[in-house]
Amino acid sequence: MNGSSQDDDGTDPLEGATESGLSKRRAQLDRKLKDLHVAEQAAAQKSRSSANGYAQAVKISSEFIAGVLVGAGIGWVADEWLGTSPFGLIVFLLLGFAAGVLNVMRSAGLVASQDARASKQNSPEDGSR
């Protein structure tokens, strides 16, 4: 009778109820945190894939534009040097366009590069050396 809420054996009767309640609450919070963590990872993965897509698009478009500009530059220089204006520009602009399309197809993986073709031709078909 000292004013405490403990039983004769020294344990608090409310402690068991609060411990189980706290355990349940902690388990709920753990589940919510895990769900939030999974959602954040999914958002980060989507962001990374989007950034990779933009990088690929910029790379491919710059390769195409570079091919066209180099072809036009070579054609203009050839026309100035040989005096064949506008035929050199037209021919080399078309060649630059073709080179740009080929570079885009190589970057996209639709056409094998020269190194890959050469190594494929040098290796036997059965995989032995």
3-state secondary structure of 113: coil
Residue 72: predicted pLDDT: 96
pLDDT of residue 126: 55
Q: What is the pLDDT tens value at each position of the chain, 129 positions in all? A: 455 555 555 555 555 568 888 889 999 999 999 999 988 888 888 877 788 888 889 999 999 999 999 999 999 999 999 998 899 999 999 999 999 999 999 988 888 777 776 777 776 655 554
Q: Maximum Cα–Cα distance for the chain, whole Å?
A: 116
pLDDT value for 119 = 74
Q: Cα 129 from chain centroid?
A: 36
- The pLDDT assigned to 121 comes to 75
pLDDT at 6: 52
The angle subtended at Cα 37 by Cα 34 and Cα 38, nearest 5°, is 90
Residue of 88, 97, 106 whose CA lies nearest to 65: 97
Give the whole-angstrom CA distance, residue 41 versus residue 80: 58
What single letter denotes the amino acid at residue 122? N
Taking the C-alpha atoms of residue 74 and residue 90, their distance in angstroms, rounded to an integer, is: 10
Helix or strand holding residue 45 (H, E) = helix 13-82
Q: How many residues does the chain have?
A: 129
